[in-house]
A and B are shown apart, each in its own frame.
Chain A
Amino acid sequence: MAEIYAVFWGDLRQLRRRLWRTVGTGLLSPILYLVAFGWGLGRGAQMGGTNYLQFVIPGIIALTAMNTAYNAAGTKLNVGRLYYKTLDEYLMAPISTHSLVVGKALVGVIRGLITSTAMLVLALAISRQETIGPLFVVTLLVTCFAFSFMGLLAAFLAKSHEDMATFSTLVLLPMTFLGGTFFSVDQVPALLQAVLYAIPLTNASQCLRAAFLQQPFPWLSFAVLCGYLLAMYLACLIVVRRISV
């Protein structure tokens, strides 16, 4: 744990220095989505017997967690590895690969949690809901870890800053609109449903939505999300061991 904290410590100092800017900029996109899709397009609409605003809020929180965790961990590492070369300092330190990967992921996890929590507070006020259950918190944590590791993986594999942007366009952008944030995946044809359920954001949205609306919890989706987390973590370990001695 001390090694993980050592890796995270520098990022934590920076995060504390710019906390309000982080929260402010991180909330901009989800609020715009909420206004456009929740109050704009979806005003008065119903989705599967639920008020559309109530339906879309957990999806937007999942989306916020995904984008913030991925970008916070991935962009910082990509710049540190390819441009500022600050990653070498960690690669030359007598620490385990596990500590390096988890320590570097934590900045994405913490930023994802901060921004998602701020969004959640706003959403609770709007939806006049008073509580959220522990499953919501656990799912949010798993989501932040899974996408933070995904950001790290992209950053470790990218050969240039353009590669990171390309990965975001090819992977995150389709997930944003197909990952069950704005519509129910159950409405699409069965074949497409199978594809969409393979997307990590879909499973995060399903779990957060069920926990938020106090519906039966989709444990299979939760297992898929945990599987993604594990796969991304292991892929990061393999890549780091390949690039370092």
Chain B
Amino acid sequence: MIATEKLSKGYGQTRAVDELDLKVGAGEIFGFLGPNGAGKTTTIRILTTLTKPSSGRARVDGFDVVGEAARVKKVIGVVQQHLSLDRELTVAENMEVHARLHHLSSHERRRRMAELLEYVELAQQAGQLVSDLSGGMKRRAMIARALLHRPKVLFLDEPTVGLDPHSRRRLWDLIRRMNADGSTVFLTTHYIEEAEALCHRVGILHEGRLIALGSPRELRQRLGLVAVEVVVDGATSYRFFADPVAARAHVQTLPSDARTLVVRDTNLEDVFVELTGRKVVPNG
């Protein structure tokens, strides 16, 4: 459904995306994981026809994002990281603008808007100005808008950033439902738990390069499924083991002055740190 070949985008001396080779199959929830500035948003902007690549190729549903941009635009739905709804219009009016821009007939417009407002549980808020909605409601309204023209691929750029935990989980459920209903979902996130909870496969992006690709379990398995954290003299060290038996054997060899000891499941953050030497979320 999505394929890139040596896709690159440079801004001056900076390579925001560097020779990205990627394939995402139909029906997948694929997650791009990486810190701010890793190139996630630039990749989404290229795939959604908003930015021209410097070199390489990208195709969505078989259409080239540069040469066949008009056809790509018909098959994608996009929920951007920032609020891109018109704050001075109501939820329903924002949806109607989108429906008109995608050439939906007036009958189809009315039907899809009613369906989707129910789907994202915003039917009661349809007549409210966007500026009066909560953050979670705005995000759900953006998703409803993006789904109006029945896109084959839904791009979600940091869909839950800035949301409270309750709204985040509600949105995860919505993304799973959309995927179950047939949409391929391509999302970016810097929340580890989001990638683990939602994605069938994850690509880890670092300084514009894809440094790891696989299912969350595959990526953890490559590192070792059990992590042992040890703090000695204020410094934390991490060791990873294939199974709990090996981890326990290691713990018994530790010096007696090891003050804090944690044995836990490995997570994608461990994978990321091991691969790049830095945290996914720079400021916690």
For B93, what are the chain A residues with a Cβ–Cβ distance below 8 Å?
10, 13
A95 touches B (CB below 8 Å): yes
Closest residue of chain A to B45, judged by CB? Answer: A88
Q: How far apart sit A53 and B171, CA to CA, in the bound complex (Å)? A: 64
Q: How far apart sit A80 and B83, CA to CA, in the bound complex (Å)? A: 11
Closest residue of chain B to A10, judged by CB? Answer: B97
Closest residue of chain B to A95, judged by CB? Answer: B101
Q: Is the interface of B mostly helix, strand, loop or mixed?
A: loop
The residue that B86 contacts in the complex, of A84, A93, A94, with Cβ under 8 A, is: A84
Shortest CB–CB separation between residue A92 and chain B, in angstroms? 6
B65 touches A (CB below 8 Å): yes
Shortest CB–CB separation between residue B24 and chain A, in angstroms? 19
For A14, what are the chain B residues with a Cβ–Cβ distance below 8 Å?
86, 88-89
User: Judging by beta carbons under 8 Å apart, are B50 and A92 in contact?
Assistant: yes
Closest residue of chain A to B46, judged by CB? Answer: A245
User: Judging by beta carbons under 8 Å apart, are A245 and B50 in contact?
Assistant: yes
User: Judging by beta carbons under 8 Å apart, are B80 and A88 in contact?
Assistant: yes
Interface 9-residue window, one of B69-77, B160-168, B218-226: B69-77
For window 181-224 of chain A, which residues contact chain B by CB distance below 8 Å? none
User: Judging by beta carbons under 8 Å apart, are B87 and A84 in contact?
Assistant: yes
Q: How far apart sit A95 and B73, CA to CA, in the bound complex (Å)? A: 9
Q: Is the interface of A mostly helix, strand, loop or mixed?
A: helix
User: Judging by beta carbons under 8 Å apart, are A93 and B51 in contact?
Assistant: no
B residues at A contact (CB < 8 Å): 48-52, 65-66, 69-71, 73-74, 76, 78, 80, 82-89, 93-94, 96-98, 100-103
A31 touches B (CB below 8 Å): no
For A85, what are the chain B residues with a Cβ–Cβ distance below 8 Å?
80, 82-84
User: Judging by beta carbons under 8 Å apart, are A93 and B101 in contact?
Assistant: yes
Shortest CB–CB separation between residue A203 and chain B, in angstroms? 35
A144 touches B (CB below 8 Å): no
A residues at B contact (CB < 8 Å): 2-3, 5-7, 9-10, 13-14, 17, 80, 84-86, 88-95, 244-245
Shortest CB–CB separation between residue B132 and chain A, in angstroms? 14
User: Judging by beta carbons under 8 Å apart, are A9 and B96 in contact?
Assistant: yes
Q: How far apart sit A5 and B76, CA to CA, in the bound complex (Å)? A: 22
User: Judging by beta carbons under 8 Å apart, are A92 and B76 in contact?
Assistant: yes
User: Judging by beta carbons under 8 Å apart, are A10 and B89 in contact?
Assistant: yes
For B76, what are the chain A residues with a Cβ–Cβ distance below 8 Å?
92
Q: How far apart sit A5 and B48, CA to CA, in the bound complex (Å)? A: 24
For B101, what are the chain A residues with a Cβ–Cβ distance below 8 Å?
3, 6-7, 89-90, 93-95
Shortest CB–CB separation between residue A32 and chain B, in angstroms? 28
User: Judging by beta carbons under 8 Å apart, are B85 and A245 in contact?
Assistant: no
19 more A-B residue pairs beyond the given contacts A2-B100, A3-B101, A89-B98, with a C-beta to C-beta distance below 8 A: A6-B97, A6-B103, A7-B101, A9-B97, A10-B94, A13-B89, A14-B86, A84-B84, A85-B83, A88-B84, A90-B101, A91-B49, A92-B50, A92-B73, A93-B73, A94-B71, A94-B101, A95-B101, A245-B49
User: Judging by beta carbons under 8 Å apart, are A5 and B100 in contact?
Assistant: yes
